[in-house]
């Protein structure tokens, strides 16, 4: 039944690819009105919030997305029980579900996918997808991103290399690749790289997906002669795919990596085509708008956040939602022929890896996305400063009234676990509480990793 639902969504997604610009805009508008009508009826939070801004159910036909007030993660988390449109989802029950490690890889109540966000914007949160929303998302990825041949008689070998062991966007989507078409291998950036190489070598994937930086590490291993695999497709997301990474992936496997734009709030928003003119926005299922603000150091205008509307999520509506990502909407269509509008300059997070010496004289790393997901109640920000090949300092800024000892102990334990899992007992670190972690003067943002090497 689920497979039938997924296949029907794939057909729907495929059909939208042959629509004209006007037809896509019309489809987007009709889906928006349908979602808005449903949300006003079933979400107490949105109904009251919109009413405060003079928007009532009777106005639906005249309302455009630009008439609606924006929402942010804090509002959705704070009012979670009233945001969702179904009574079986409550913040408390979801939090309990997330806390129990037994639930990794499981759906809440057997039917809702729970995706947790990192604390990179200060506040961790979670987003819920019901079966229909999840299948729309999977259809978008299968049809427009991974483009794998769906052949039950010849299942594709699909390897994911990223942060596993949690309800994170990348691993959740990868783990749920339909088994009838895919044989899936999940590898963690927390595992020693030698072990990952051995598993991937043995598995011989046809498709590799993961963070641009982690997939690039595999390409480097191949170029150094430590890995010998011949994937047909490489799909990256999450962090920035730099030109060097793209070139190395091409040198390693003769493949042009496919880069797509995703967030926990919608794990498939846009994808690059082979012409590399930018990302094509899946505007049949999303609205995107770019907002500008002032750079904290230079005082110049800069694109600072993005408003995103997810048109397929009915159980937890995400409408005119502020994401802290920089994008620039393109004015022209791409010469490739796809009518999906363009966006550029996704200033994806570029954080450095922490490369260390291993006890046997080799090298292994801590992945920046691992640092982003470290959290402790009372911790405001964390930064790791690498000062040698075998040591680093963890700098912590606390919330007012935080219990310093508890925060420090918790972060120390989490870091020790990471090092243990990576088999890096030789790495020494100290935890330092600081008044403030300064913004990076170049980007105007917080950096999770700095180096003195």
- Using CB under 5 A as the criterion, which residues of the chain lie in contact with Zn ion when the complex forms? 273, 275, 334, 336, 338
Q: Which is nearer to Zn ion, 265 or 284 (CB)?
A: 284
Q: Could you tell me the smallest distance in angstroms from the CB atom of residue 143 to Zn ion?
A: 15
Could you give the CA distance from residue 364 to residue 383 in angstroms, rounded to a whole number? Answer: 19
Q: Which is nearer to Zn ion, 36 or 273 (CB)?
A: 273
Q: Could you tell me the smallest distance in angstroms from the CB atom of residue 145 to Zn ion?
A: 13
Q: Could you tell me the smallest distance in angstroms from the CB atom of residue 281 to Zn ion?
A: 11
The CA distances from residue 355 to 115, 313, 358, 361, 444, in Å, are 29, 39, 9, 12, 25
Q: Which is nearer to Zn ion, 38 or 338 (CB)?
A: 338
The CA distances from residue 28 to 22, 288, 340, 446, in Å, are 10, 11, 11, 35
Q: Which is nearer to Zn ion, 336 or 417 (CB)?
A: 336
Neighbour order of strands in the sheet with 279-281 = 182-188, 156-162, 207-211, 233-237, 258-263, 266-272, 279-281, 342-344, 328-329
Q: Could you tell me the smallest distance in angstroms from the CB atom of residue 340 to Zn ion?
A: 8
Q: Could you tell me the smallest distance in angstroms from the CB atom of residue 308 to Zn ion?
A: 21
Q: Which is nearer to Zn ion, 39 or 258 (CB)?
A: 258
Q: Which is nearer to Zn ion, 299 or 337 (CB)?
A: 337
Q: Which is nearer to Zn ion, 101 or 335 (CB)?
A: 335
Q: Which is nearer to Zn ion, 171 or 273 (CB)?
A: 273
Q: Could you tell me the smallest distance in angstroms from the CB atom of residue 273 to Zn ion?
A: 3
Q: Buried b / exposed e across 49-81, counting CB within 10 Å, b at 16+?
A: bbeeeebeeeeeeebebeebeebbbebbbebbe
Kindly provide the residue ranges of all beta strands, DSSP E only, lying in 241-285, ordered along the sequence: 258-263, 266-272, 279-281
As to burial, measured by CB atoms within 10 angstroms (0-12 exposed, 13-18 middle, 19+ buried), residue 121 is middle
- Which positions ≥6 away from 386 have C-beta within 8 Å? 354, 392, 449, 450, 451, 452, 453
Could you give the CA distance from residue 258 to residue 237 in angstroms, rounded to a whole number? Answer: 9
3-state secondary structure of 39: helix
Could you give the CA distance from residue 321 to residue 305 in angstroms, rounded to a whole number? Answer: 10
Q: Which is nearer to Zn ion, 145 or 304 (CB)?
A: 145
Q: Which is nearer to Zn ion, 225 or 337 (CB)?
A: 337
Could you give the CA distance from residue 177 to residue 154 in angstroms, rounded to a whole number? Answer: 15
Could you give the CA distance from residue 192 to residue 356 in angstroms, rounded to a whole number? Answer: 12
Largest CA distance in the chain: 70
The helix (H) or strand (E) run that includes residue 243 is helix 243-253
Could you give the CA distance from residue 294 to residue 187 in angstroms, rounded to a whole number? Answer: 40
């Amino acid at each position: 039944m689920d497979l039938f639902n997924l296949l029907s969504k794939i057909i729907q997604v495929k059909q939208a690819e042959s629509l004209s610009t006007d037809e896509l805009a019309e489809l987007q508008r009709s889906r928006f009105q349908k979602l808005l009508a449903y949300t006003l009826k079933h979400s107490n939070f949105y109904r009251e919030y919109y009413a405060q801004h003079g928007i009532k159910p009777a106005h639906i036909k005249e309302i455009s997305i630009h008439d609606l007030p924006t929402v942010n993660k804090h509002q959705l988390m704070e009012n979670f029980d009233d945001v969702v449109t179904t009574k079986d989802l409550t913040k408390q029950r979801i939090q309990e579900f997330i806390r129990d490690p037994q639930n990794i890889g499981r759906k809440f109540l057997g039917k809702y996918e729970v995706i947790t966000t990192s604390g990179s914007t200060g506040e961790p949160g979670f987003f819920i997808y019901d079966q229909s929303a999840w299948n729309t998302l999977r259809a978008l990825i299968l049809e427009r991103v991974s483009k794998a041949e769906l052949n039950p008689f010849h299942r594709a070998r699909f390897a994911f290399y990223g942060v596993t062991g949690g309800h994170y966007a990348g691993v959740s989507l990868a783990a749920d690749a339909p088994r009838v078409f895919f044989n899936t291998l999940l590898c963690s950036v927390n595992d020693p790289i030698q072990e990952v190489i051995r598993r991937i070598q043995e598995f011989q994937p046809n498709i590799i997906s993961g963070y641009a930086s982690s997939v690039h590490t595999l390409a480097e291993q191949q170029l150094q002669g430590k890995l010998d695999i011949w994937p047909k497709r490489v799909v990256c997301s999450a962090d920035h795919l730099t030109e060097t990474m793209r070139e190395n992936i091409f040198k390693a496997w003769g493949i042009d990596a496919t880069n797509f734009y995703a967030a926990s709030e919608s794990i498939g928003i846009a994808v690059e085509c082979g012409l590399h003119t930018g990302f094509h926005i899946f505007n049949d299922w999303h609205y995107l708008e770019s907002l500008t603000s002032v750079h904290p150091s230079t005082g110049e205008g800069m694109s600072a956040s993005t408003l995103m509307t997810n048109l397929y999520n009915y159980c937890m509506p995400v409408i005119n939602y502020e994401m802290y990502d920089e994008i620039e909407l393109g004015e022209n269509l791409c010469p490739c022929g796809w009518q999906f509008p363009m966006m550029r300059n996704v200033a994806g997070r570029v954080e450095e890896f922490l490369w260390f010496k291993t006890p046997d004289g080799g090298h292994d790393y801590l992945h920046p996305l691992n640092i982003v997901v470290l959290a402790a109640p009372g911790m405001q920000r964390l930064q790791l400063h690498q000062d040698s090949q075998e040591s680093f300092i963890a700098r912590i800024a606390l919330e007012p009234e935080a219990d310093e000892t508890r925060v420090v102990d918790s972060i120390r334990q989490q870091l020790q676990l990471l090092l243990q899992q990576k088999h890096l007992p030789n790495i020494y670190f100290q935890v330092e509480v600081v008044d403030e972690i300064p913004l990076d003067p170049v980007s105007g943002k917080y950096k999770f990793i700095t180096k003195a090497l």
